[in-house]
Amino acid sequence: MRPLQARDRRYARKLEQAAARTRTDRVVVALVGVDAAQWVSAHLLADLVPALGLRGYGSRMSWPAMLADATTHLPVDIVAAVDPRAEIADPEIDALVASARGDVAAIPAQRAQDGTVAGLGAAETGGPAPWPILADHPAEDLDPLDDVLSVPLVHGLTVALGRTALRDVLEGDAPRSASAFARALRARLDARVLTSVRPVLDEPRLVFAEPRATGTGSSRDRSTAADIVTAAGFDVVSWRPDAAGTVEPVRRWRRPHPDAQRWAIKICAPAGRQGAVWGDMHFARGLASALRRRGHTVVIDAFDARARPTSVLDDVSVVVRGPYRIDPVETGITLQWIISHPDQITRAELASFDRVFAASESWSRNVREKWGIDVRPLLEGTDVDLFHPTGVARTDDIVFVGTARGIARPSVVAPLRAGIPVRVYGPDWRPFIPQAAIAARTLPHADLPRRYESASVVLNDQWPAMRRHGFIAMRPFDVVAVGGRVISEQVEGIEEIFGGAVITYRDAEHLVELLRADPDTLFPDTAALAGIAERIRAEHSFDARAAVLDAAAREVAGRSATSG
């Protein structure tokens, strides 16, 4: 059962997913408070897919009342009901269905719109409402847990359970709210959460009447909740009510060894599927892996989670400054690493961090002279776990990977206008280039190394402000790390860093001239390129960058200890 709500940005995608599942499942789509256009589109699709069941409800309908009505049309053994806000993949739905039984309700480890945990089930801990277990924690804090955990209460609206048990609860207990439904389920079923199933609630809730939850004040679930918190790597120091009165544990991160620190990498990408394709997310994952190899625990915060309440648990936070400003948190050591949009940076922003790094030698030097702030150069790098040579054969393809950014990027448009074929991978290109030039709208990040290594040449350009201020993007590091060749816009220092594996063009005419030449006459031979690639992987890996950041954090900590 897939409810869809008004003003859902992913309405079409979710409706399409529901229709596709009719090949194997009985599916009911509940249209809750939708507008006329949504209603018409759903019915048009249902005409094409007769197996798709549609039901309509007002926005103030309660969740249990909708369940009761919609499930009368599902003569099945297991019912999977999906939160209308959730973007949930088919394998995740299948996992929930496979785990549900007559006496077991299976739920996901749902994440909130900002990417943090919305609640790993819930527990009656003594307040007026249950505590959503590990709420506001980064999703990485679920990694140490078992794949399946028993929890006291179902939390959230996504659940898979036996239809007979569901009907017994809805008809026998007649719950009037989602919280009452969860408590009624407790008396009949074991609630189990699948910790690796982590859909994001990427919409605000706009439907379903839900009165303020009230509880019994019981603290009977504290032991179970504390065990889960402990298994996640934290000690429970005490219990206290939050601002809303919910009693939650005071937690302290448990260091796996004396030198370990808990790091949070804060980025400008959104949570969920939308942010998964951002370069900032791939950047953060590469840096996180490198920091973990240094013995640290690392979590990644999407933009909306930049000030999550559980930041107090972190020892070090590093802001990867992209298109949006992210202010430092008030606790722990704060580092900033500026990788783009230097024209937006202010002196006040820099002065608020313990240490600041920037991916440009010249910009760092100029800021030190202009503002008297010790900005240290730290160029972007490459993730050597992914970007290393594999021996794939080089082709004749000229390749560009990236979005159009809403403009006719010269590095792509100029060659195509001159009749030079370019294979373009990225969205938003149709207004600017022929359809035949678009190899794919997306290219999985794991496939990038082979695509770069097999290309004859990879094209590179950058944001104008980055080019003016000497910021070199991550793409040349990745391409050269696999032994590839790059033709790029001129950026200060780029040819010196990459030692012949990157050559630059002055303007569109010069770019066309270079692309018409034999690339073997422009670039070093295979053996020389292999040597350059090895040097880039050694000197410009995220491991090398993590060592610099780690040393800076320890320097700040040492000075704080001395001054204290």
| Nearest Cα to Cα of residue 253 among 116, 123, 121, 138 | 138
Encode 101-126 in three state secondary structure: ECCEEEEECCECCCCCECCCCEECCC
Percent over 90 (pLDDT), the chain: 85
**In terms of Cα–Cα distance, which of 323, 228, 341 is closest to 267?**
323
The pLDDT tens digits for 132-149 are 999 999 999 999 999 999
C-alpha distances (whole Å) from 510 to each of 260, 327, 353, 471, 488 are 51, 42, 42, 22, 11
Residue 212's pLDDT band, with cuts at 50, 70 and 90, is low
Give every strand in the sheet of 502-505, ordered side by side.
438-440, 423-425, 398-401, 457-460, 486-489, 502-505
Could you tell me the two tokens for 489?
A: 């816009």
| Counts of helices then strands in the chain (DSSP H, E) | 20, 26
What's residue 563's pLDDT?
Answer: 67
**Cβ(441)–Cβ(470) below 8 Å:** no
Nearest to residue 229, comparing CAs of 298, 124, 145? Answer: 145
Reported confidence tier of residue 211, pLDDT bands at 50, 70, 90: low
Q: Give CA torsion, residues 67, 69, 72, 77, to 10 deg.
A: 0
Task: Decide if pLDDT at 213 tops 80.
Answer: no
**First-residue to last-residue Cα distance in the chain:** 58
Q: Report the C-alpha gap between 523 and 411 in whole angstroms.
A: 19
Please tell me whether residue 148 adopts helix, strand or coil conformation: strand
Euclidean distance between CA atoms 445 and 431, whole angstroms: 24
Do 106 and 160 touch, CB atoms closer than 8 A? yes
Q: Is the pTM of this model over 0.75?
A: yes
Average pLDDT over the chain reads 94
Q: Which pLDDT tens digit goes with each residue over 307-347? A: 999 999 999 999 999 999 999 999 999 999 999 999 999 99
Structural domains in the chain, CATH included, are: 2-251 (3.90.550), 262-381 (3.40.50), 398-540 (3.40.50.2000)
Structure tokens at 187: 């008396």
264 phi and psi angles, rounded to 5 deg: -120, 125
Structure tokens at 360: 């440009």
How far apart (Å, rounded) are the C-alpha atoms in residues 281 and 307?
Answer: 17
| Residues 6+ positions from 44 with CB-CB distance below 8 Å | none
d(CA 356, CA 238): 36
pLDDT at position 158, please?
96
Q: What's residue 329's pLDDT?
A: 97
pLDDT attached to residue 83: 94
| Residue bearing tokens 């050559």 | 503
Residues with Cβ within 8 Å of residue 202, at least 6 apart in sequence:
9, 10, 85, 86, 87, 113, 271, 272, 273, 274
Confidence of residue 489 (pLDDT cuts 50, 70, 90): very high
Q: Is the pLDDT of residue 377 over 80?
A: yes
pLDDT for the residue 463: 84
Q: Among residues 163, 159, 26, which one has the least CA distance to residue 95?
A: 159
Q: Which residues of 343-353 are buried (b: 16+ CB within 10 A; e: fewer)?
A: eebeeebbeeb
Looking at this protein, which amino acid is placed at residue 305? A
Cβ neighbours around 555 below 10 Å, total: 13
| pLDDT tens digit sequence for 159-184 | 999 999 999 999 988 898 888 999 99
Render pLDDT for 8-39 as a digit per residue (tens, 0 to 9). 989 999 999 999 999 999 999 999 999 999 99
**One-character DSSP codes across 48-113:** H-TTEEEEEE-TT--HHHHHHHHGGG--SSEEEE--TTEE--HHHHHHHHHH-BTTEEEEE--B-T
Specify the amino acid at residue 92: E
- Per-residue model confidence (pLDDT) at position 214: 56
Other residues' Cβ atoms within 10 Å of the Cβ of residue 474: 22
**265: which 2 tokens?**
């990498």
Q: Are 122 and 152 in contact (CB under 8 A)?
A: yes
pLDDT at 285: 97
Q: Hunting for tokens 């819930």 — which residue is that?
A: 122
- Tell me what pLDDT residue 102 has: 85
Residue 12: which residues within 8 A CB-CB, separation 6 or more? 41
The sign of the torsion formed by the CA atoms of 178, 184, 187, 190 equals negative
Mean pLDDT of 234-255: 94
Q: Assign 3-class secondary structure to 399-449.
A: EEECCCCCCCCHHHHHHHHCCCCCEEECCCCCCCCCHHHEEECCCCHHHHH
Q: Residue 204 — pLDDT band, cuts 50, 70, 90?
A: confident
3 state SS of 508: helix
Report the candidate in 172, 176, 179 with the shortest Cα–Cα distance to residue 153: 179
Lowest mean pLDDT, pick from 86-90, 425-429, 560-564: 560-564
Predicted local confidence at residue 27, as pLDDT: 95
pLDDT-above-70 percentage for the chain: 98
Confidence of residue 216 (pLDDT cuts 50, 70, 90): low
Q: What average pLDDT does the segment 447-457 reach?
A: 97
pLDDT digits (tens, 9 = 90+) for 52-71: 999 999 988 899 999 999 88
pLDDT digits (tens, 9 = 90+) for 512-548: 999 999 999 999 999 999 999 999 999 999 999 999 9
DSSP per-residue codes, 158-203 = -EEEEHHHHHHIIIII---SHHHHHHHHHTT-EEEEETT---EE-S
| Angstrom distance (rounded) from CA 161 to CA 165 | 7
